[in-house]
Structure 1
Amino acid sequence: MDAWYMDDSDEDQRLPHKLVPNQPVSLEELQKIGVFYWRLNADVYENDPELEKIRKERGYSYMDIITVHKDKLPNYEEKLKMFYEEHLHLDEEIRYILDGRGYFDVRDKDDRWIRIAMSKGDMITLPAGIYHRFTMDETNYAKAMRLFVGEPVWKAYNRPADDFEIRKTYLSSLKCA
């Protein structure tokens, strides 16, 4: 996992979009905005005791796997556009990359984009109420596990969604951090 502040370029969203000079973002900085990270062995995800421990501790009771590739995901280009639309969720978002690569972009306290490059073995949680988006990198392939507390929640609320109580709660949590 690698993270950095993004440039404002309108070039292909699948490019890294690093500032020049690069401005890296540490795990500690990500934690301050509620983003948490684990490095797991994706080759043993089906029987990984470390993953099971995380699932049990955090109450992740539902799991499925999605392959994001033009040959595997119906309406691939349409889905990519939807994933890249800035949005928030009312619940935490958990993604574990089992194969391939992709980017999660999240907003920091000052509303600047941070790009998080994820590859096989990387797992992150995004807090409810954080504005974010997802895109592929140049490889155009990722296989990811999606985890949920309880039933899966797929509803995304595109920005602006500042009137949602979960957004207000999230912003309040940043003031305490």
Structure 2
Amino acid sequence: MTRNALILIAAGGSAGMLLGAFAFQFIGGLAPCTMCVWQRWPHAAAIAIAALVMVIPGRLLPAAGALATLCTAAIGAYHTGIERGWWSGPSACSSGPISGLSADELMAQIMQAPLARCDEVPWELLGLSMASWNTLISLGLTLVWCVALVKTKPAH
């Protein structure tokens, strides 16, 4: 398989991930949490990088594409750990302790809470959340980018 074909597959994978995320949000009505949105940006970057790779020679951009998909995989893995209670998430999108709060303080905390929390799983398939699926698929896309990188001739 050619380098350009591999890059198109990787970019198509990232585009598919973004389209899926937007479908869950706008068609399925699942509001994304803060970390879900964070996972989208590297996919968008990978798509932009793929477009640039087609016109700019060298190995830097395929390496950047691999880094972008590895970045979203890392965010997804971190998010999965938060969902499973392995570690605490950012206070901006996870639930916090409520003991010792007055009724007014508790109400203020509720009103400031994000629409979707990072420590809840709104959807899963085969026991894996969207964050977990993003991690696995993005690792696969990273591998595709790496194979494309190996097939890329250094710029002169």
TM bracket, shorter-chain basis: under 0.3
- Structure number with larger C-alpha Rg: 2
Which protein, 1 or 2, shows the higher relative CO under an 8 Å CA cutoff with sep ≥ 6? Answer: 2
Q: TM-score, normalised to structure 2's length?
A: 0.25
Structure with the largest fraction of helix: 2
Structure with the largest fraction of strand: 1
